[in-house]
Every structure is written in structure tokens, then in C-alpha cells.
């Protein structure tokens, strides 16, 4: 079981790996049996399956940056609630490349110092150029 400081340090490494666009470092922090569910309800089980799913995103979506907005750690349960902001060049149809900001929450569970479950929830309204925009239905 990780204590609060160890959990926060792990999440700092997690965030740094994402912001460095380093998929290998992200994968080092995942349990082999990781379960991931994204905001659309898509589910992936297993570290290698998740690597294959995330690899195109890392390859095709440079310039993204996650910022921690809030963090709740339940060290006894080995869980965190991680509220984040994502800034990146938009992929929304007709607004490609414009500055976009999304907000969301990850619920993460840990086992043996690694992420075993990650559930991602995202707002359905984002900001592009400082204005609210409803997400398109064509998101992956």
C-alpha cells in the first residue's frame, strides 16, 4: 500500500510522463492487468492492449499538456480522484489546431505501486479559443 506522499509522487511521475509525451514512461506505471475505461465508455484490459490503443494518440496528438486542478487521495483504499485540465491543439472538426481546453476527472486504483484501474470522465463542453463548444459526436 502506498502512503499519501508516495501516491502523490507516483501521480507526479504519471503527469510528467504524459506531458513529455513519453508512452514508455506512462506504461511503466501501469499494472499488467490494468483496466481502462474512457469517457465514451470504451474499455480496454491489459497493459499491452492499452499500449496499442494509446500509441496512435501519442503519435498523432502532439502539443497536449495536462494540469492537475485537484487531487484526492484515499491511501487506505489505494485510490485517487484526479481532476485535470487538458490544453492541446483541437481535433474538433472545423476547428482543427485551434487552442482547446478540456476538463475531466480520473478515478485511479493502485495495486503494488502501479495503476490497476483508470476510469476517465470528461465534460461534454470544452473551450476553443476561450469559447464554450459542445463536443462532436465523432470523437474516438
- Statement: residue 139 has pLDDT above 50: no
Residues 83-133: tens digit of each pLDDT = 999 999 988 888 888 999 999 999 999 999 999 999 999 988 889 888 888
Question: How does residue 60 score in pLDDT terms, banded at 50, 70 and 90?
Answer: confident
* DSSP state at residue 32: E
**Distance in angstroms (rounded) separating the CA atoms of residues 26 and 17:** 6
- Statement: residue 59 has pLDDT above 80: yes
**Distance in angstroms (rounded) separating the CA atoms of residues 86 and 49:** 24
Taking Cα atoms as reference points, which of 61, 107, 110 lies closest to residue 86? 61
What separation in angstroms does the CA of 32 have from each of 87, 94, 100, 113, 123? 29, 38, 33, 12, 29
Percent of the chain at pLDDT > 70 equals 96
Domains of the chain by residue range: 4-134
pLDDT value of position 140: 38
Write down the pTM of the prediction: 0.88
- Statement: residue 135 has pLDDT above 80: no
CATH architecture of 4-134: Roll (3.10)
pLDDT value of position 137: 53
Amino acid at each position: 500500500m502506498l502512503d499519501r506522499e508516495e501516491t502523490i509522487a507516483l501521480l507526479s511521475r504519471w503527469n510528467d510522463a504524459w506531458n513529455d509525451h513519453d508512452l514508455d514512461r506512462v506504461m511503466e506505471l501501469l499494472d499488467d492487468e490494468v483496466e481502462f475505461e474512457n469517457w465514451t465508455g470504451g474499455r480496454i484490459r491489459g497493459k499491452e492492449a492499452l499500449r496499442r490503443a494509446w500509441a496512435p494518440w501519442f503519435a498523432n496528438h502532439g502539443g497536449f499538456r495536462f494540469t492537475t486542478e485537484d487531487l484526492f487521495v484515499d491511501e487506505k483504499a489505494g485510490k485517487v480522484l484526479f481532476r485535470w485540465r487538458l490544453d492541446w491543439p483541437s481535433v474538433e472538426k472545423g476547428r482543427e489546431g485551434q487552442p482547446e481546453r478540456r476538463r475531466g476527472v480520473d478515478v485511479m486504483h493502485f495495486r503494488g505501486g502501479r495503476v490497476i484501474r483508470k476510469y476517465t470522465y470528461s465534460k461534454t463542453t470544452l473551450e476553443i479559443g476561450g469559447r464554450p463548444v459542445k463536443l462532436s459526436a465523432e470523437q474516438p
